[in-house]
Amino acid sequence: MALRKYVVGNWKMHGTSSDIGEILAIAESARELAEVEVALCVPATLIERAARAAPGFPIGAQDVHQLEKGAHTGSVSTAMLKDAGAAVTIVGHSERRDAHRESDELVRAKAVAALDAGLSVILCVGESLDVREAGNAVATVGEQLRRSIPASLEAPQAFAIAYEPIWAIGTGRVASPADIGEMHAALREALGAAYGGAGADVRILYGGSVSAANAAEIFAVANVDGALVGGASLTAEKFLPIVEAAAKCGGSVETAAADS
Ligand code: PGA
């Protein structure tokens, strides 16, 4: 079956109650584009208000602690996220891997905890500019994936990978379609090696300066099943054209072809 495109906004450290109207505008329009799955990962402080304001629309977190509870000042558990109304969480974003020294092993533990708790997970991987320029991007990101993903998956549809080249995040620089295609094919193969047939049901999103101007080209690349969008997800005006581009594109090229 062709995978339904998945477009996720990552609000990072942006958003207060005055932005609920923006979330509602996104949720209402997304509901009309049923061929695309849309979610918004907002700051933890906004999850409950957003989930109440837009019932049925998936609101997510940007990180979660791997343990159930305890002396972990400032952290939020899977149960707390679910209690607040979150349906999904990002783990392993490069901004957390870098600024909070999160290792692949920790990212894996977070993914396992979140999936076990019934949250959907978007697990991020991506290379630095140095690694890309040294020609090691595919090998490095493949290794990062293998070390970060859960050993087994019960519900592959609840698990997504986001390939986000670090040098493309928030910079306006986007990886070329050829480079995205090469990386996503390698990640698809690694998911197949890890999960067998279920690896084909894990969506692989691209992230890094996705905008209305480049979304259609990115979504047309084989094995691109959606996008993780930062800056351009902060307003309905910028985000909805990306969702619409995904709707026009339908299922990812390779899986759609496999259907026929
Ligand atoms: P950007 O961020 O779209 O602003 O580049 C993407 C991300 O970090 O998820």
Ligand 1 centroid – CA 33 distance (Å) = 22
Ligand 1 centroid – CA 211 distance (Å) = 10
Report the pLDDT value the prediction gives residue 258, as an integer from 0 to 100. 41
Tell me the best of 7, 10, 123 to mutate to test the pocket of ligand 1, counting ligand atoms within 8 Å of each CB and taking the most.
Answer: 10
**If you classify domain 2-259 with CATH, what class do you get?**
alpha beta
Q: Convert the pLDDT of each residue in 171-225 to its tens digit.
A: 999 999 999 999 999 999 999 999 999 999 999 999 999 999 999 999 999 999 9
As a whole number, mean pLDDT of residues 65-83 equals 98
Selecting among 93, 95, 102, 184, the annotated active-site residue is: 93
- 164 in catalytic set: yes
Domain ranges in the chain? 2-259
Atom 6 of ligand 1, nearest CA residue: 230
Ligand 1 centroid – CA 70 distance (Å) = 31
As a whole number, mean pLDDT of residues 127-149 equals 98
- 100 in catalytic set: no
Is the pLDDT confidence value at 1 over 70? no
Ligand 1 atom nearest to 211, measured from its CA = 3
Percentage of residues in the chain having pLDDT higher than 90: 94
As a whole number, mean pLDDT of residues 92-107 equals 96
As a whole number, mean pLDDT of residues 32-56 equals 97
Percentage of residues in the chain having pLDDT higher than 70: 96
Q: For residue 57, how many C-alpha atoms fall within 13 Å in the half-sphere facing its CB?
A: 29
Is the whole-model pTM more than 0.85? Answer: yes
Tell me the best of 62, 228, 234, 242 to mutate to test the pocket of ligand 1, counting ligand atoms within 8 Å of each CB and taking the most.
Answer: 228
Report the pLDDT value the prediction gives residue 252, as an integer from 0 to 100. 59
Selecting among 95, 102, 164, 254, the annotated active-site residue is: 164
Ligand 1 centroid – CA 206 distance (Å) = 10
d(CA 228, CA 88): 13
Ligand 1 centroid – CA 207 distance (Å) = 6
Report the pLDDT value the prediction gives residue 245, as an integer from 0 to 100. 97
Report the pLDDT value the prediction gives residue 2, as an integer from 0 to 100. 73
Ligand 1 atom nearest to 169, measured from its CA = 5
Report the pLDDT value the prediction gives residue 38, as an integer from 0 to 100. 98
Kindly report the average pLDDT of the chain as a whole number: 95
| pLDDT band, residue 259 (cuts 50/70/90) | very low
Report the pLDDT value the prediction gives residue 248, as an integer from 0 to 100. 93
Q: Convert the pLDDT of each residue in 103-132 to its tens digit.
A: 999 999 999 999 999 999 999 999 999 999
- In the numeric block, which tokens belong to residue 252? 């990812």
Which residues line the pocket of ligand 1, CB cutoff 6 A? Answer: 10, 164, 169-170, 207-210, 228-232
